[in-house]
Amino acid sequence: MTEQTALHDICDDELADRAPRAPRSTHLGLALFALALGGFAIGTTEFVTMGLLPQIADGVGISIPTAGHVVSAYALGVVVGAPTIATLAARAPRKQVLVWLMVAFAAGNIGSALAPNYVTLMIARFVSGLPHGAFFGIGSVVAASLVSRERRTWAVSMMIAGLTVANIVGVPLATVLGQHLGWEWPYAFVGLLALVTIGAVWLWVPRQPADVAASPRGELRALKGPQVWLTLGIGTVGFGGMFATFSYITPTMTELAGFGDRAVPILLVVYGVGMTVGAVLAGRVAALGMMRGMFGSLIAIAVLLALFGPMAHQKPTAVLGVFLLGLLPSLLVPMLQTRLMDVAHEGQSLAAALNHSTLNIANALGAWLGSLVLSHGLGYEWPSRLGAFLALGGVGITVVSALLARRTAASAA
């Protein structure tokens, strides 16, 4: 272990000991369920838009590439809201912050369901995205505070499980709802889930004391390190390729592979299962070495995206491609989260929120670049080909980060 790593561990221990601990909940399972329910609602609204792009385009009178900007609007809301709210709410009681975040989330989704035109829908999706990253960041801290120190990782994983389950159950069901009743109804359904989450958090999550040692300045201090920005760059560029492909997964599967609309929810289930398998395997991959695991995952993503276009022309290989499109990026997410926590010691809440900002910058970037490719008359094979180059860009940033870390460790030694 290098002196730098040892120092990082000491800093993490001091931060963990300094952080306020919430009273042990007599309803731990219910408290974690309340947080996971919020994650389920967020995961459903984030990904259901991709499955309903044709319906949204017809509903508000725009083209499918333009409808991809609706995905970008939500993602930009996450990018803006996650660091801003996490920083400004550093000293606020966390339970109250979670409740108000869900109030804003409910308002944004109900507004999306009622949007009469494209501009209003874009604004509503931006508002819906604002609470996303802050809820996961602050909710992770709350979940960890409900249990003993050695069970913190388990508690956080139980909360994030809501996001995984959303991709297996929530997104496919909401897609079916949108196909049969109209694109507005999935957003109304998510708004209802948000209202239920407000009640669940209020009833079951114990009161969270404010962290008097926290401050906006302390949270922002985490942004001084170059490794923080390099890690954010890995997520932004590396994941952009995946979102350039997945944002247009419905027309890709229907036009290239020949699936009907009824098969789209099943394909989304396949994607969700891939995400779950990737999340389960991520710890084993990280055990081989954090930077090595990130490098290998990005190389695998680049290869998949380069081959995804040809794979999408045959139904069996298209299904395999969708499964891998869920699995491979899910290997990378926990490693990026851990890496951010390692290099941003003084801003743990901000670092947790920034991971979601990173992924949604990639979401916005990928959806926008994919729309440019399609708007210029290229087929649905091309967003994934562009995505392969973005994944290789993530590989390059990973190499720079690893070399800088090695040089820093050598200097410290």
Max CA distance (Å), the chain: 64
114 contacts: CB under 8 Å, gap ≥ 6: 124, 184
Residue 288 pLDDT: 81
**Interatomic CA distance for residues 120 and 194, integer angstroms:** 20
d(CA 91, CA 89): 6
* pLDDT of res. 162: 83
CA 336 to chain centre: 11
Q: In the numeric block, which tokens belong to residue 41?
A: 């609602």
**CATH label, 21-213, candidates 1.20.1250.20, 1.10.10.10, 3.40.50.2300, 3.20.20.105:** 1.20.1250.20
- Rounded to whole angstroms, how far apart are CA atoms 230 and 236? 10
Per-residue confidence (pLDDT) for residue 19, from 0 to 100: 44
Report d(CA 171, CA 51) in Å as an integer: 8
| Concatenated DSSP letters of 356-395 | HHHHHHHHHHHHHHHHHHHHTT--TTHHHHHHHHHHHHHH
CATH 1.20.1250.20 residue ranges for the chain: 21-213, 215-413
Rounded-to-integer distance, Cα 363 and Cα 70, Å: 11
pLDDT tens digits for the chain (413 residues)? 333 333 333 334 433 444 445 444 458 889 999 999 999 999 999 888 877 888 999 999 998 888 888 988 998 898 889 888 888 887 788 899 999 999 999 999 999 999 999 999 999 999 999 999 889 878 877 887 888 766 766 777 677 778 878 888 888 889 889 988 999 999 999 999 999 999 999 999 998 766 666 666 666 776 777 888 888 888 888 888 888 888 888 888 988 988 888 888 888 889 888 888 887 787 778 778 888 888 999 999 999 999 998 999 999 999 999 999 989 988 887 778 777 767 776 666 676 677 777 777 887 788 888 888 888 888 888 889 988 999 999 999 999 998 988 887 777 77
| Res 91: pLDDT | 77
The CATH number of domain 215-413, selected from 1.10.3720.10, 1.10.10.10, 2.60.120.10, 1.20.1250.20: 1.20.1250.20
Asked if 345 and 121 touch (Cβ cutoff 8 Å), the reply is no
Residue 69 CA to residue 56 CA, distance in Å, equals 11
Q: pLDDT at position 7, please?
A: 30
pLDDT at 278: 82
